[in-house]
Every structure is written in C-alpha cells, then in structure tokens.
Amino acid sequence: MRVFVDANLLVYLNVGLPAEEAELLHSFWAQLLKSHDLYTNVLVLDETLYVSRRRYGVPYEATIEFIDRAVIPFVELLPLGLEEYAAARKYIEVNGLKPSDALHAATVEVHKLHAIASEDRDFDKAGLKRLWLET
C-alpha cells in the first residue's frame, strides 16, 4: 500500500517519549517501513521541525539529523504545487480541514496514495483511510 506519513508520527519518533509509548511507535514505524511504500511532502518536514522544537524543545539540528537519517532514506518526498493547492481548496471548503491538513489530503489524492499514517482524526472527515496505532 502507498502511505502518506504525517508529521505527528515523525515528531513522536523524534522526541523522547516514555518507554512503552516509544516502543509502540517504533513498532508501528517498523511495520510501515516493512509493509508499505511511504511518502510525505516538505510541509510535513517543516511541521516536524517546528513542533519538535516548539512543543518538545528539540533543537533544529537534532531534528534535521533525525530527518536525514531516519526519514529521507526511506520516505519519498512528493512535490506541492498548483494541482495540490487546487485539491486542498476542496478539503478546506467541503471538509473543514486546516490548510496544512488539506495540503496533506491533497497530496494523498493527487498522487493516488491509499492511506495516511496519522493520529489526526480530522482526516476521517475527508474520507481518507487512516492508519494509526489503534486502527
């Protein structure tokens, strides 16, 4: 399956979590890597950098190292352009998604991906198949 990787998963993999939570997330990530083709966009990388620092105090340098080591070699980076913007407008207007979530949903649609790996239930409103720990 072709799966879009959302920022929340990358943030959780990047920050220090309690051992039990970290183990669950690392197992989920390993299963995604083993069983699916993974994709994301540059906005997810931006969100990963910003949230890791703002909410968890992880320096940009550490997050960049994480992205370069654990994401870029395994996850294809898809472009954001006019076609994604046009599709994102629909997700904002019809489904009430936030702009960044709408761009992620549009990336899934435009590039014909099958699911999104995210804890964000807003993607359910857009009719996207969502993979997460409890799904």
pLDDT digits (tens, 9 = 90+) for 90-111: 999 999 999 999 999 999 999 9
Does the pLDDT at position 11 exceed 90?
A: yes
pLDDT digits (tens, 9 = 90+) for 58-81: 999 999 999 999 999 999 999 999
Does the pLDDT at position 135 exceed 70?
A: no
Are the beta carbons of 127 and 87 closer than 8 angstroms? no
pLDDT confidence of 17, banded at 50, 70, 90? confident
Between CA 73 and CA 53 the distance in angstroms is: 22
Does the pLDDT at position 134 exceed 80?
A: no
- Longest CA span, the chain: 42
Q: pTM for this one?
A: 0.94
| Averaged confidence pLDDT in the chain | 96
CB crowding 8-40: b at 16 or more within 10 Å, else e: bbbbbbbbebeeeeeeeeeebbeebeeebebbb
| Domains by residue range for the chain, with CATH | 2-131 (3.40.50.1010)
Report the pLDDT averaged over residues 31-53.
Answer: 98
Task: Give counts: helices (H), strands (E), the chain.
Answer: 7, 5
pLDDT confidence of 16, banded at 50, 70, 90? confident
